[in-house]
Amino acid sequence: MGAGEWGHVSEAFYRFLHVKTMTVSLKTDPSMDEFKEIEISGSHSQQTSHVVEIVMKARNLFQENHEPSMLSAKSDGITEGADSRAKSRTGPLIVLFMNYPEALNIMHTAFGSDELPNNFYKTLSLDKEVKSIQDIQENNDVALLIVEPNFPCVVGELPITTVVSTGTKAQMTFDKNSSQFIMDYAKPLSQSELRRQRLWMEKAKGTQHGVPTYYTMYSLDDVQKRPDSAEGPLDGELLVLLFWAIWHWPEREVALTPIPILKALEVEKVLEMWRRLRAMNIIQAGSAAKTWKPNQEIAPLVARYLNPEINLRASIHVAVMIAHAHRLFRTEMLSVKAARIITRFAAIIGCHLPTLVTPDFVRIENEQTSFPDLIKQVRGDSSGVGKLLADHGSLWLALGLWQQVQDSGELNMKGPRSYITIAQHNVRLNKVCISEVAKISNRLDMSLNLPNDDNEVESEKTMLSDKEIEKVNEILLDSWMHQLVLFPYAKDLSPVDLISLRPVDCEFPQTVSLDWVRKKNNGNRSSGPDGFAAIYFNLLRDKTNGLLVPLELTLVPDAAFAKLKQRLGTLVPALTTIYPVPTDYTDP
């Protein structure tokens, strides 16, 4: 790696350790004399309807102050700054402290069939560079600012008239009952995080739009019951944190690394994370006891691809997946087309696959549609290898749909909506996500030095042979081996999460037919005597029955398992957690 790349790695680690935990105020003298604080009561749907009304008012004022020709969004859905032809905005600046998917849903509801106007909104999140704050301060055109609830900075001197806070955030947590990472999309913010949000209003500058209003979607009476500071802010990042610690301080015991938070971690938790990194073959045992070192064959590439500009959520699993593709392509053990599929997968996973709780890359609109009917419809609107493997699960299905949009050029067609409906209107594709996948894929292609053939359409560039598909599946399994569900062939037995051996709940709309897989694979049990497996890319816990809920299942063929078993020696013992999961814990 060159000096520039090493510099990037250090910068990425700095941002990981500091940007995610620091609080920065760009202005220290409050200029807002007073503001109203109103609690939005009622059910979540009633609260959301109230926020939609607030956004609709901003929409109306925005449209009044812009030429009609300015109201069409860019095809890529990315806002780049004020349009020089637009009139000066006199409307209010509204700040929404909520997760971007939820805010996007609200905006789509507020605008109905109309396209989101260019420059109507901007976003600030942990994955954005802090320098984007200056753009927010200088842009007089933006009417709506979406701020990730745990964004660590406070921006002063903004003409804020309205703030809406959900009082919650999305956070990955380490679940001690399963030794797995679980996403909590509504984790309550701590008192200090709520105070930081209030500072946005206190440091805002006055406007001619009356007394500003601070709306809360949480009970003000319950604030004092919340913890004073955020709990486990890096719990969901343990794998990445320990990788960086070994990368920067190899051959050193964890207690001797200059990262205070590591010293406070349970020894069993650290050992479990080390075991997973070792199974993924990105670290090796050090020369002294209790020490580890990077595997120089692949670790430098993993460090390189933890860059959030090309790995949107800085996922170590995505980084390992791209690193494997890079290494194998460089040594001529992976074809160009197979490498391109990996870059598409990395971009799709980073932009979110279909889930039941977020405005998604692919959304099943009519959940009453039967799986065979839906797959038939989706295949008819898909292209390439994703079309051939659509019934293998979410990742292949999303790939086929995305490739069809790329082949047809439909994304560039002017339309009244910010999404595309397909499969007889049972599925919708988010235009912003489609554009983001294309942008990230192109960046990764260039990073891997993949040749670009402009004479071929997207689906032709990535059409794979059976052998190439097998290689892609091996890379997927090597990268996501710790996020697997085992399904018994017998229907009366519950599927289990491989890491924890806890039962999971898969009784919800999925894009892979478990009955179809059972019928197809029964009798071919090279992966083990008990059944077959699927990777998942997100994990929740059902709050009603307490079961783990794996999302975005993607089938793993037996041949890939055979290769992994050959490398690890054993399969279930090598992957099952050593963290002391409570033996007396029973899933409700």
Q: Per-residue pLDDT tens for 470-508?
A: 999 999 999 999 999 988 777 677 888 989 888 898 765
Spatial distance between the Cα atoms of 32 and 37, rounded to a whole number of angstroms: 13
How many residues are listed for the chain in this entry? Answer: 588
Residue type, 433: C
pLDDT of 22 strictly over 60: no
Question: Are 555 and 424 in a shared domain?
Answer: no
Mean pLDDT of 528-537: 76
Least confident interval from 218-232, 264-278, 523-537, 542-556: 523-537
pLDDT at residue 154 in the model:
85
pLDDT at site 188: 92
Cα 104 from chain centroid (whole Å): 15
Q: Assess if residue 281 is contained within a domain.
A: yes
7 confidence band (pLDDT: 50, 70, 90): very low
What is the spatial distance between Cα 16 and Cα 308, in angstroms, rounded to a whole number?
10
Helix or strand holding residue 143 (H, E): none
Cβ-count burial of 209 within 10 angstroms (0-12 exposed, 13-18 middle, 19+ buried)? middle
Ranked by mean pLDDT, which of 58-62, 87-91, 274-278, 520-524 comes out on top? 274-278
Residue found by looking up tokens 């905005």 in the block: 89
The three-point CA angle 534-536-539 to 5° equals: 140
85 & 209 share domain? yes
pLDDT score of 251 more than 60: yes
The better pLDDT of the pair 284, 260 is held by 284
**Do 318 and 247 lie in a common domain?**
no
Number of domains in the chain: 4
In a domain, 4, yes or no: no
CA distance 404 to 419: 14
The pLDDT of residue 390 is 81
The verdict on residue 508 lying in a domain is: yes
pLDDT of 401 reads 86
Angle between helices 3-14 and 238-248 (to 10 degrees): 130
Which of the residue ranges 113-122, 159-168, 345-354 has the most confident prediction, judged by mean pLDDT?
Answer: 159-168
**Same domain flag for 334 and 448:** yes
Helix (H, G, I), strand (E, B) or coil at 327: helix
Lowest mean pLDDT across 6-15, 241-250, 525-534: 6-15
Output helix, strand, coil percentages for the chain, rounded to the nearest 5.
40, 15, 45
Q: Return d(Cα 482, Cα 50) in angstroms, integer.
A: 41
Cβ neighbors of 497 (< 8 A, separation 6 or more) are 178, 180, 484, 485, 486, 504, 539, 548, 550
* Mean pLDDT computed over 277-304: 94
Residues 418, 111, 81, 309: is their CA dihedral positive or negative?
Answer: negative
Report the SS3 class of residue 583: coil
For residue range 94-136, list pLDDT tens digits in order: 899 998 778 877 887 787 666 666 667 777 776 555 556 666 6
Q: Is the pTM of this model over 0.85?
A: no
What distance lies between CA 221 and its chain's CA centroid? 33
Residue 556 has phi, psi (to 5 degrees) of -110, 115
Structural domain contains residue 587: no
Give start and end residues of each alpha helix (H) in 483-557: 514-521
Q: Which of 434, 451, 470 is the last residue of a domain?
A: 470
Residue 333 lies in a domain: yes
Six-digit token string for 560: 């890939």
Cα–Cα dist 180/501, whole Å: 11
Q: Is the alpha carbon torsion for 297, 298, 300, 301 positive or negative?
A: positive
Residues 350 and 466 in one domain: yes
For 570, the domain range is: 481-575
Residues 430 and 494 reside in one and the same domain:
no
Distance CA 303, CA 329 (A): 18
For the chain, how far is it from start to end, CA to CA, in angstroms?
50
Whether the predicted pLDDT of 513 surpasses 60: no
* 263, 396: one domain: no
Residue 135 lies in a domain: yes
Residue 533, classed as helix, strand or coil, is: strand
- Other Cβ atoms less than 10 A from the Cβ of 345: the count is 27
Q: Helices 394-408 and 336-350 sit at what angle, rounded to 10 degrees?
A: 100
How does pLDDT run across 396-414, given as a tens digit for each residue? 988 998 898 888 876 655 4
- 8 lies in a domain? no
Query: What is the average pLDDT score of the chain?
Result: 77
457/507 same-domain check: no
What the block records as the tokens of 100 is: 């971007």
201 and 277 part of one domain: no
| Strands (E) located in 27-84 | 36-39
Tokens of 355: 């889930």
Q: Exposed (0-12), middle (13-18) or buried (19+): which is 7, by Cβ within 10 Å?
A: exposed
Last residue of a domain, one of 470, 490, 514: 470
Q: Tell me if 180 is assigned to some domain.
A: yes
- Residue whose structure tokens are 């004479």: 455
Residue 138: which residues within 8 A CB-CB, separation 6 or more? none
> Of 157, 160, 83, 67, whose CA–CA distance to 118 is shortest?
83
> Quick check: 522 and 201 in contact, CB under 8 A?
no
Long-range Cβ contacts of 413-419 (<8 Å, 24+ apart)? 414/72, 415/115, 416/113, 416/114, 416/115, 417/113, 417/115, 418/73, 418/77, 418/108, 418/111, 418/115, 418/116, 419/108
DSSP 351-364: T----SSS--SEEE
* Helix (H), strand (E) at residue 271: helix 267-279
User: What pLDDT is recorded for position 202?
Assistant: 86
Q: Which pLDDT does position 107 carry in this prediction?
A: 81
Domain boundary (470, 495, 525) is at: 470
CA separation for the pair 461, 493 (Å, rounded) = 42
Q: Exposed, middle or buried, 173 (CB in 10 Å: 0-12/13-18/19+)?
A: middle
8 or 42, which is more confident? Answer: 42
**Residue 151: what pLDDT?**
82
Q: Are residues 464 and 317 in the same domain?
A: yes
Q: What residue type is 508 in one-letter code?
A: F
Q: At 253, which CATH number?
A: 1.10.10
118, 221: one domain = yes
The residue written with tokens 């013992």 in the block is 573
Whether residues 125 and 36 share a domain: the answer is yes
